[in-house]
Amino acid sequence: MLVFTLMSEDMKSKTTLWREKKRLDLEWVAKEKERYEKDKERRREYMRGYQQKNKEKANEANRRWRAKNPEKSREYFRLKARERYKLKNEECRAYGREYYYRTGKSKRTPERRFKEALKRNYGLTVEQYNQMVSDTGGKCPICTDELVQGRIHVDHCHTTGRVRGILCGNCNSAEGFLRTSENAHRMYQYMLANEKT
Domain count, the chain: 2
Q: Are 165 and 95 in a shared domain?
A: no
Q: Which of 107, 139, 155 is the last residue of a domain?
A: 107
Looking at mean pLDDT, say which of 16-30, 91-105, 183-197 comes out highest: 183-197
CA dist., res. 53 & res. 51, Å (int) = 5
Show Cβ contacts of residue 52 under 8 Å, excluding neighbours closer than 6 positions. none
Domain that holds residue 155: 110-196
Q: Which of 58, 84, 107 is the last residue of a domain?
A: 107
Check if the beta carbon of residue 184 is closer than 8 Å to that of residue 178.
yes
User: For the whole prediction, is pTM greater than 0.85?
Assistant: no
Instruction: Quick: pLDDT tens for 42-56.
Output: 888 888 888 889 889
Q: Are 86 and 54 in a shared domain?
A: yes
Check if the beta carbon of residue 139 is closer than 8 Å to that of residue 146.
yes
pLDDT for 6 equals 47
CATH of residue 165's domain is 3.40.1800.10
Indicate whether 5 pLDDT > 50: no
Cα-Cα end-to-end distance for the chain: 97
pLDDT for 127 equals 92
CA dist., res. 155 & res. 161, Å (int) = 10
98 is a domain residue: yes
Q: Are 84 and 114 in a shared domain?
A: no
Q: Are 126 and 178 in a shared domain?
A: yes
Length of the chain: 197
Instruction: Quick: pLDDT tens for 172-187.
Output: 888 888 888 888 888 8
Q: Are 131 and 158 in a shared domain?
A: yes
Mean pLDDT for all residues in the chain: 81
